[in-house]
Chains A and B, each alone.
Chain A
Amino acid sequence: MIFGLSIVFVLTSILTVAGALAAALLKNLVHCALSLTVTFAGLALLYLQLDAQFAGFSQILVYIGAVAILVVFAILLTRGAGVPEYRNFSSSWLAGLAIAAGVFALLAWAVIKSLPASAASSAAPQVSVQQIGLALMSNYVLPLEIVAVLLTVALIGAVIVAMPESQKSKTESAQGGGK
């Protein structure tokens, strides 16, 4: 127990933060995407430590199984000659870093100032998947339906946005631009 925190928590959070830092600092884009995956896995382990099993497994299924692969496919489809022709960090990187550091300082100060010093450990909530299902169908049925519509719209929208233009519309826009 380090500072009153369990060793599993310390290791998992070091893994998560290291993955996030690697995603920030690495030059190779695919390495950044893979270290993002490590961060997602670390976060899923943190959810499991918080007794949120459904959220943890959903995190693995959605983020590692879908979003990480989406990011990797996008990287592969937008590769130029393989080597990026521009520098890695934008010209205003110092301002960005200062803003991020400021935000972290503010959040950490807020957390440390406002919580009681002693640990009031509450019992682990026994959440069964059946309770989640009942809650989704009774209290949260409106957000559920809205998320279903949102996902359908996002699916169709992403396909339309990323689809190559048909030949007819390409020649039309070329003629319109040339006039």
Chain B
Amino acid sequence: MSQSSQLWTNLDQIFVLLQHWVESFFPVWLQPAIGTVLGVIAIVAAFPGIFALTTVLERKGLGRMQNRLGPNRVGPLGILQPVADGIKSLTKEDIVPLTADGAVHFLAPVVLVIAVFLGFAVLPVGRNMVLANLDAGLLFFFAIGASTELSIFMAGWSSRNKYSLLGAMRAVAQMISYEVPLLLSSVVVVMITGSLSTVKIVEAQSGFTGIFPHWYVFTPWGFAGFVLFVIAALAETNRSPFDLPEGESELVAGYFTEYSGFKFALFFLGEYLAMLSIAGFAITLFLGGWGAPLSGLSILPSWAWFFAKLFCAIALFIWLRGTLPRLRQDQLMNFAWKFMLPMSLLNLLVAGAWRFFGEGWVRWGVCSAVLLLAYVLLGRVLMRHQHLGARSYRYAD
């Protein structure tokens, strides 16, 4: 192997080599445990760091989209704003209402943060860089994601506040409704790959035909699945345009109205980390994980590609937040049950047909045609009562 390619391989595996080097200082029986501890430290250090960067990017991005500057006082271009926010939230008084249920009120943000951090364990950040190579990794992630709904309910109920309870019930109803399309659109990937393990899913997408990668997003069912997954992911993490449960103009602050200081910061952290982990899963399932977009570029480190794609996904989420108006609760639920569920079921059928047809141009044509036809027909059927003209607003019914 030539010198330069050996150098690039080492750069690709640099964190793995670092882990082995630290492990070598310990006796053999302790090494697996030390390896796991190092992985956990890396996750706990890296992802909250990305969270801090995301908050700045979001505020500046939203500011620019709304024709104003974002925060620009703290540090050059406002980069150190998260540090100021952190200090503020740590030093603010922790107010708990007198009639609030003390134990549950305290445990809600803890449960959220624990559940969200657990979800990062099966995310393959780079080649050979996953904390737990579980055989049922995807099932683990969705199971842990389902547990976050309970913490939101705990927060809303324990505050003994009508706004909180209403926000919590709305949020839980929304999260449960969108869980079904989320799971169904990821089942398509499992069907084609034949495994629930995230590592195997990424490896199945690491081939190239010519210079184009075998990412699932470049297939008809993969593209539909990706769009459905992203929309469902936005709804699962209560991001705009699905952020009615925490809409500031509606419900004060929804289910975390009564939280202040560090507990509010924990909720904030939990929400953003959930967004990061589900974006990471969208990348793993559809965008090829740590694979490079063109075959010549696969010389660059795998973890660099993963984080580049993660930043693109974050930018997409911030863009959607800045441009789309908020959906009303009934519009939201209609969208989930009447549009996304039939589309994701149809996507399952299309993926089965894809496998059935075998290699060739036939399957591309048939699958794309079926999906496009279904999209157009479903849209027309659901919107048949709307009289849309030149100056009518589509959702003002």
Where the two chains meet, the residues of A that have a C-beta atom closer than 8 Å to any C-beta of B are: 28, 30-31, 34, 37, 53-54, 57-58, 60-61, 64-66, 68-69, 72-73, 76, 128-130
Contacts and interface: CB of A to CB of B under 8 A. Distances in A.
Given A34-B154, A65-B149, A69-B150, A60 B144 contact: yes
A145 B198 CA distance: 28
B349 interface: no
B255 to A, nearest CB: 13
Nearest to A127: B135
A76 B142 CA distance: 25
B146 A60 contact: yes
A69 to B, nearest CB: 6
Contact of A58 (B139, B149, B153, B172): B139
A61 B146 contact: yes
B319 interface: no
A65 to B, nearest CB: 3
A76 B153 CA distance: 11
A60 B135 contact: no
A62 to B, nearest CB: 9
A159 B144 CA distance: 27
Describe A's contact surface by its main secondary structure: helix
29 contacts: A28-B101, A30-B157, A31-B104, A34-B154, A54-B139, A57-B136, A57-B140, A58-B139, A60-B143, A60-B146, A61-B139, A61-B142, A61-B146, A64-B143, A65-B149, A65-B150, A65-B179, A66-B176, A68-B150, A69-B149, A69-B172, A72-B153, A72-B157, A76-B157, A76-B165, A128-B135, A129-B136, A129-B196, A130-B194
Contacts, number: 63
Interface string B128-162: 00000011100110111111011001100100000
Sorted nearest first, the 10 A-B pairs with minimum C-beta distance are A65-B146, A60-B143, A61-B143, A57-B139, A57-B143, A129-B196, A129-B136, A57-B140, A64-B147, A61-B146
A64 B153 CA distance: 12
A69 B157 contact: no
Contacts of A61: 139, 142-143, 146
Contacts of B150: 34, 37, 64-65, 68-69, 72
